Chain A
Amino acid sequence: MTPDGAAPIATTTGLTKVYGKGEAAVHALAGIDLELRAGELTAIMGPSGSGKSTLMHCLAGLDTPTDGSVWLAGEDLGAMSDRALTAMRRTKVGFVFQAFNLVATLTAEENIVLPLQLAHAKVDTEWFDQIVDVLGLASRLKHRPSQLSGGQQQRVACARAMVTKPVVIFGDEPTGNLDTAASRDLLGFLRHSVDELGQSLVVVTHDPGTAAFADRVLFLSDGKVVDDLANPTQATILARLGTDAQTDVQDDAVTNAQVQDDAADMSTRATVPPPPHVGRATNADVEQEL
């Protein structure tokens, strides 16, 4: 139970996910007991392979646990058919992914109302206008995704996630492809939606700057929750990461050196390191003809 007595939005009991069999088996999630509280922005952090994405997929009903149970918005996901899960995703859950968020052939407006149309539901014009206004998308509604900047695309994705008034919105590295300014804008909006609109949010990230916007940070390692940090600042997060003996997040360490240990200064200094794009870097200088 949350301090203010509200029901949890999601609960997991002994959540286990195993990929492969026998010797090749990988325990992505090794028994997770968790309660996510309503009206909070929860960040899930952890190094690559720690199971943070798998946890989010299981919480959102996108993946089926090997063992244990997941309750989302008061319903047992394990007991639901594909059809019921689809309906659940339509009405109770919102998603913001790192990339490939939008349907390229639809305009921003059409993308935003897509979940409602899929559910044959009416658009709440007032709510729609409010979201669009807050996200500053009013002038971009008729544009196709290819005509929008990366930040605008992610904001459209947020608007689409919010338009159904979901119980919870899941974000999978929502700022992963954005530059510093765009990340800050987006995170600002997410914070705003939690504080002003009471929206519950779960964000998977490996960026301390992003996590610092959360009310609560869960640290995952080897498929287990190893720490649970309330009201984090970038400093406490970095400290936590620094003390983690098992850490292998080199990128975060680099960020560590670049970022001032001052969470309050985030608005001007927060950096969201660009995701490693080995392919692009290696080939940048291989030009044209051979």
Chain B
Amino acid sequence: MLRVAWRDVRFHPVRFAMSVLAVALGVAFVAGTFALRAMLSSTFDGIVATTVEGDVYVVADNGTPFTPAWMAYLDEQGKVPDTLVPAIDALDEVRWVYADYTGPVLLVGADGTRVSSGQAPSMAWIVDDEAIITDQGFKVTGEVPRGPDQIGLESRTADKAGLKIGDTTIVIIGGQAPREVTVTGIATSGTGTPFAGAVVVGMDAATAKAAFAPTGAVPMIVVRGVDGISQDKLAAAVAAVLPPEANATVKTGDTMRTEAKESIDENLGFVSTFLMVFAVIALFVGAFIIANTFSMVVRQRLRETAVLRAVGASRRQVFTSFVTQAAIVGLIGSLLGLAGGFGLVAVIRSVFEAMGMALSGEVPVTTTGVAIPVGLGVAVAMVAAALPARRASRTAPVEAMRPGSDDSQRGATVRGSIGAAMTLAGIGCLVAAHRAAEDGGPALGAGAGLILLGLIVAAPALAPAVTWVLAVPVAAVSKPFGTLAQRNLARNRRRTASTASALMIVMALVGATTVLASSVRASVADLIDAQLDSDFVIDGSASMAGVPAAALDDLAKVDGALVMMVSVTTAVVTPDGSDPKVVELGVMHPEAMTRGFAPDLADGTREAFTDGVAVSVPIATRYGLKTGDTLEVTLAKDTPMETTAELVVQVVYRNEAISTDVLLTETTARTLLEPDVYSQVVTAVQGFVVLDPGADPDAVRAQLVDAVAGYYTISVMDADEFSSFLSNQVNQILYIVYALIALSVVVAVIGVVNTLALSVVERTQEIGMMRAVGLGRGQLGWTMVIEGVLVALLGAVLGISAGVAIASVVPSVAWSTGLGVVSVNWLTVASLFAGVVVVGVLAAVWPAVRAARVPVLQALVYE
């Protein structure tokens, strides 16, 4: 029986090619995901190994998990005073020690533009002790930088910037004004990609301290022991000299490296989960295609099966024969997919490289990275084939001999009822989710799942009716062909349904994404319309440093307009009787609430917001806060500059337009924090500009542009530009999602091609007879095209309706995050349908050509 199974695969390559392709695409996704994850992981491991190079670390005693130095300034991490350094340096066990002053640095390249690091940071590196750099595995050419007018560069950064030793250029360190500096040295790593494409600018400790830690509070102090000392022994020695009031703790390098890897893996976990979702969809859709192929193969081979049964093959043998074929298909597809997946990762790597992020090493081939995708591919193929194979083995030999036995209609009503019930339950869940608003998340998820599953289950029952409705216009215009195509689909409703189901899932995804995207855009536009009252917006979010303090001074001097900055910092709020909660806290210009920026208020008045605190509706609801209550706010938490104040809640606002949950006025924040501390922990991100009456907008804009011109990363926009700027950010994410969906679409299209091509084989006699009575080749092709379009539209109608319905509820659930408006762009939805029609036509081309090539006579004398 094995030989029979193998021969069949060998002699019908086309029949199985589609299944192989479907498996290959699904597996390529899975293999690519694993390989990408492994590659990212090894890249970051390399970074950890080169950047977490100390034997012992002194960090804040707050139990926050460690994040690597170059991520530290992004995070609300505790800080330790650099005053601990001399005592540690005095120890005999210590080779060197430094306080890690680091933060964002903007480097201007030889061409006069900012050196971009893509998604990687652009940061400072303390390099004033050559021994430290050498210990980190770098070789220095030139001199290490001394003083604020000199910098050193990591070799890759130097290449990217086109700078060499002796060149002068501009840097902006932290929030400082742009400064001209000279490149004195370049450090080349012995290993491949030490900073994964980050822009790394070396400077001496004093320069970095002035910019990033004027108060002397640093995320960590790095210690290297003398040769031969163990990390534990060194840690004990360091711990002994730490004063108890420093709130500092000692961790060994190994602990830090482990924590760093864990934190990186956690972040990468999200990326691979995201990719895995698409891999699962591709495999799921692939499974439909395989199941389809095999149910057709089974039908075609019924006679042969009957002969096999008649000559003594048992049920089990017939079943095994089909499942073995599936395994062969699965294995070939998986191996191809594996190669494709690795190719995909190679492409991704070159794309990353082009964007400035270097990933280390070759595409990793690990045992799990190979075994899991291949195992999955084979398993999916076998499971998908099992059902049709079971049907084949159950067929009585005599029954199989009879021509035209049609087994696809049974159970349609039962399935239809169950599916309808599930879909209705799903709709119920969506309604419940809509009512429950914020707490509707689980109901939304359940609703989405139930609707999609329900539609898949009900699809065979729905297929004839839906395609009939869809075919009405075609049938009217193109007399026999619309009817012929629709009836062909209705005849094999199960196959039609499973083909359409694959497309349905993909289209649900597309539909939902489209609605979410247009809702986000509409929400943004809506908010800007309703709540943003300013003439210009200044945006500094392109740089980690935000709008530097020096620029703020220039902006304050602009004539004819009021510039109101919005800054952010991390704070801890402790409502009465509740646990402390870490929040992002907004610091607003005192007049921002009354001029230029108008969030809807739930409680209080704009004028009332002076020396107290404003909280968002979700925070107020959760902690039962109303105006007049007090809220404990801690700024610069876990640093030596920590400040806590009891503030009166003066305003409760709806926070659609503001991403922060708690607001202070700038006056209040400056009262609470020393100027040095303020400049270290508060980052100005955006500014709203309101013109004085009668002021000339163009003149003001010119002044604004002038004020920020030297900072490279700050832009000045009017309200329209700001709106499209925000939309573009949404679009960028969308493009990635669409690219991933596009791959799933390809799999689904292959499903349609597969179904049509196999139905051509199945209908050879009918086609021959119709050709004999005068069906032209063009007419035959046209019929196939209509069939393809109808299947595609069936999937699209079900999928897009489900996707749109599900996505429409998301804003109700997620309104507190600013997604307040449901917007279905019907033009986009219409163009989706148009796209689906094109997909259907394209899918029909090859089967139509195949059908037209069938010689009339061969079709007639077939069998």
Contact = CB atoms under 8 A, between A and B. Distances in A.
Nearest to B394: A288
Interface string B846-861: 0000000000110011
Contacts of A101: 769
Interface string A72-113: 000000000011001101110011010011111110001000
B779 interface: yes
A20 to B, nearest CB: 15
Contact of A105 (B401, B491, B777, B857): B491
Interface in B717-755: none
B397 A286 contact: yes
Contact of B310 (A83, A118, A282): A282
B480 A290 contact: no
B473 interface: no
A227 interface: no
A280 interface: yes
Contact of A90 (B312, B765, B774): B774
Contact of B480 (A86, A117, A146, A160): A117
Interface in B639-682: none
A86 B771 CA distance: 7
Contacts of B765: 100
Given A105-B491, A106-B487, A114 B766 contact: no
B488 interface: yes
A163 B860 CA distance: 22
A267 B779 CA distance: 43
Interface residues on A, range: 35 or more
B485 to A, nearest CB: 9
B844 interface: no
A63 B861 CA distance: 12
Nearest to B306: A283
Contacts of A57: 857
Q: Is the interface of B mostly helix, strand, loop or mixed?
A: helix
Contact of A62 (B310, B484, B488, B860): B860
A45 B212 CA distance: 104
Interface string B761-775: 000011011111111
B398 interface: yes
A284 B307 CA distance: 12
B822 interface: no
A286 to B, nearest CB: 5
Given A89-B774, A117-B480, A118-B480, A62 B857 contact: yes
Contacts of A106: 480, 483-484, 487
Contacts, number: 102
Contacts of A287: 396-398
Given A100-B766, A283-B401, A286-B398, A110 B483 contact: yes
A119 interface: yes
B315 to A, nearest CB: 7
B772 A283 contact: no
A90 B778 CA distance: 14
Contact of B479 (A105, A117, A289): A117
Contacts of B398: 283-284, 286-287
Nearest to B489: A105
B309 A90 contact: no
B776 interface: yes
Interface in A264-286: 279-280, 282-284, 286
A240 B332 CA distance: 61
A92 to B, nearest CB: 10
A115 interface: yes
A49 B765 CA distance: 21
A83 B315 CA distance: 48
B779 A62 contact: no
A86 B484 contact: no
11 contacts: A82-B777, A87-B774, A87-B776, A89-B773, A106-B484, A110-B483, A118-B776, A161-B773, A279-B303, A288-B396, A290-B309
